[in-house]
A and B are shown apart, each in its own frame.
Chain A
């Protein structure tokens, strides 16, 4: 806890650092970018995680363990590793453009690793496993009787999903959103490797710290980032309670 106290003390002792961070400009942009990117990554990864999580929680099929291991593996990858993998696939001479070049004669997506889309994909790469595993745990406790009752009342699979499963799972979905969101907000390695023209708050913090010796601004940015994360987390948490 002490580091946090140190951060807060440093930041509050120089209120103008806070004003600088909150004033229009690079710092505020980076915070807004972080917020937007993390929120989008949280929603998309949770949406993509629903089906696999349900399958892992409910279905048995050959190779299931292997598939699950594969999905959960990226949980431990540090951000720089994920960034590297995205470059491997989508760099200017990455695997996807090469393959596209072989198939269609045009090297599609070349260099997209370094665009906003590439950064977003990288966030998804480490958020989807997180989302799948959190949701799977929640789905495991889903009372099948409810589903069976709905079915016996004549509800089709889609109606059951919309009216039974999703409402029941809503709290879990929201808490999963919170988990993925906060992880994205603090992630640093991915942006370090991939972000070119686009900036996110952790990157600005790093730059202030190492290039400009601006501990006060870096501290203020940290506090602002932590406050944002905490605030949005609360928002999700209230719905998941």
Chain B
């Protein structure tokens, strides 16, 4: 009892040390990247863009000028995919959980399959089946295929956790099905919805397979532009572009942590 160091404490400290070491290892490349953009570009050899020479600010201005089209495309894509995924996914999850119909089980399995097949296969399938469909529409379809299962899963979990008791109570008190859904079910789903929205946002913002294979010089997402930057631009420009890519993700993750995002993380790791 009075031992200053118990095995339990040693194990705990060692475990924490391992976790911290892992985090440091994962973050170190990001720090080095940021340093490359801001501090001392010459660490990474000669640079090739004279235009980007004017300090960190000039660098970012140069990158934004270079890829503003891709940024706008990505923002539009996310702006379309997030609401669509929620608008389709939430009622679908509700139907699967609360109002199963003949074939709903297999439909649900079908909707979940994009998670189980390799990303590249899905992208190639879309591309080969593309025909004359507008590219932006295809991108939206591809991203929906990836993100809908996440919404279904998150919302289903939330519905199961909440249970149907309150809804039954509301119904027995005379509320119609719509009223019940709007006033009882939906409000209690808000945390789940916020998390699925963030989830869809994060996945869609970073998605590469579909975006890259379906990209044209006009319709190009930011991750696809990142690849171009890594291959054609010098290190500081690539580093600055990387930081721009991370800019919306890091705050989103911190916000999720603050919200207590178990659900979110589990969803993401699917």
Q: Do A and B come from one complex?
A: yes
- Cα distance, A68 to B261, chains bound together (Å): 11
The reply on A229 being an interface residue by CB < 8 A is yes
Contacts of B123 in A (CB 8 A): 188
Interface of A is mostly: helix
The reply on A192 being an interface residue by CB < 8 A is yes
The reply on B51 being an interface residue by CB < 8 A is no
The reply on B12 being an interface residue by CB < 8 A is yes
Instruction: Say whether, besides A59-B16, A188-B209, A230-B117, A4 and B43 are in contact (CB < 8 Å).
Output: no
Q: A31-73 CB contact bits vs B (8 Å, 1 = yes)?
A: 0000000000000000010011011100101010111111111
Shortest C-beta distance, B28 to chain A (Å), equals 7
Complex partner residue of A193 from B29, B110, B227, CB under 8 angstroms: B227
The reply on B265 being an interface residue by CB < 8 A is yes
The reply on B136 being an interface residue by CB < 8 A is no
Complex partner residue of B230 from A54, A80, A157, A188, CB under 8 angstroms: A80
Say yes or no: A85 contacts B33, CB within 8 Å.
yes
The reply on A84 being an interface residue by CB < 8 A is yes
Say yes or no: A74 contacts B26, CB within 8 Å.
yes
Interface window among B65-73, B81-89, B163-171, B199-207: B199-207
The reply on B20 being an interface residue by CB < 8 A is yes
Instruction: Say whether, besides A78-B208, A128-B26, A209 and B127 are in contact (CB < 8 Å).
Output: yes
Contacts of A2 in B (CB 8 A): 125, 129
Say yes or no: B32 contacts A89, CB within 8 Å.
yes
Interface members, chain A 1-25 (any B CB < 8 Å): 1-4, 6-7, 10
Say yes or no: A51 contacts B19, CB within 8 Å.
yes
The reply on A137 being an interface residue by CB < 8 A is yes
Shortest C-beta distance, A24 to chain B (Å), equals 22
- Cα distance, A209 to B122, chains bound together (Å): 14
- Cα distance, A182 to B249, chains bound together (Å): 24
Q: Which residue of B lies closest to A6 (CB)?
A: B129
- Cα distance, A225 to B123, chains bound together (Å): 13
Say yes or no: B120 contacts A95, CB within 8 Å.
no
The reply on A212 being an interface residue by CB < 8 A is no
Say yes or no: B117 contacts A186, CB within 8 Å.
yes
Q: Which residue of B lies closest to A192 (CB)?
A: B227
The reply on A129 being an interface residue by CB < 8 A is yes
What interface size band does chain A fall in? 35 or more
The reply on A134 being an interface residue by CB < 8 A is yes
- Cα distance, A233 to B250, chains bound together (Å): 31
Contacts of A4 in B (CB 8 A): 113, 117, 121-122, 125
- Cα distance, A53 to B124, chains bound together (Å): 35
Say yes or no: B19 contacts A188, CB within 8 Å.
no
Shortest C-beta distance, B9 to chain A (Å), equals 11
Say yes or no: A3 contacts B129, CB within 8 Å.
yes
Instruction: Say whether, besides A54-B15, A129-B26, A88 and B119 are in contact (CB < 8 Å).
Output: no
Q: B256-270 CB contact bits vs A (8 Å, 1 = yes)?
A: 011000100110111
Say yes or no: B128 contacts A3, CB within 8 Å.
yes
- Cα distance, A79 to B245, chains bound together (Å): 13
Contacts of A54 in B (CB 8 A): 15
Interface members, chain B 77-128 (any A CB < 8 Å): 110, 113, 116-128
- Cα distance, A51 to B270, chains bound together (Å): 20
Q: Which residue of B lies closest to A222 (CB)?
A: B121
The reply on A223 being an interface residue by CB < 8 A is yes
Shortest C-beta distance, B140 to chain A (Å), equals 13
Q: Can you name 6 A-B residue pairings with CB atoms under 8 Å?
A: A52-B19, A81-B223, A88-B33, A140-B262, A179-B269, A193-B227
A-B pairs, 7 with minimum CB distance: A186-B118, A3-B125, A78-B208, A85-B29, A186-B119, A6-B129, A133-B269
Interface residues in chain A, defined as those with a beta carbon under 8 Å from any beta carbon in chain B = 1-4, 6-7, 10, 48, 51-52, 54-56, 59, 61, 63, 65-81, 83-89, 93, 95, 98, 125, 128-134, 136-137, 140, 156-157, 179, 182, 185-189, 192-193, 201-202, 205-206, 209, 215, 218-219, 222-223, 225-226, 229-230, 233
